[in-house]
Amino acid sequence: MTRIYNKTSELDKRRTLRKSQTDVEALLWEKLRARQLDGHKFKRQFGIGPYVVDFFCVEKKLAIELDGAAHFTKEGAAYDKEREAAIGSLDIAFIRFTDAEVLKNLDGVVEKIRRKLQETR
């Protein structure tokens, strides 16, 4: 059986991403870590197939992505669409937020994640 999650071949990539997280990722991580959100466990920089998502709740199969400036280019948007479709085909729910949304309304973002978790299985 092919391994889908956290492939060993991508370990260095995930480690590098965790060590160089953005300020916005760190801000949201402080709200998600240590089962603070209704007891749900989140992992950061989690590998799904050839992709790495910012945050992932394994039990609910929910991927969370934060979109910075690179996501708003034509190439970035096309890559995101392809990536989200591939991850979605694995029966994984997806929710995205812009960096600006997290900075301006962190509590609102956390509440949207809470509602998505309640909707998901």
Q: Tens digit of pLDDT per residue, the chain (121 long)?
A: 567 888 888 888 888 888 888 999 999 999 999 999 999 999 999 999 989 999 999 999 999 999 876 666 788 888 889 999 999 999 999 999 999 999 999 999 999 999 999 998 7
Whether the full predicted model's pTM is greater than 0.85, yes or no, is: yes
Question: Is the Cα torsion angle 93, 45, 103, 98 positive or negative in sign?
Answer: negative
The verdict on residue 2 lying in a domain is no
The verdict on residue 58 lying in a domain is yes
Classify residue 116 as exposed, middle or buried by CB count within 10 Å of its CB (0-12, 13-18, 19+). middle
Number of domains in the chain: 1
Parent domain of 66:
8-119
Distances (CA, A) of 12 to 15, 16, 18, 22, 90: 5, 6, 10, 18, 24
How far apart are alpha carbons 31 and 38 in whole angstroms?
11
Check if the beta carbon of residue 94 is closer than 8 Å to that of residue 117.
Answer: no
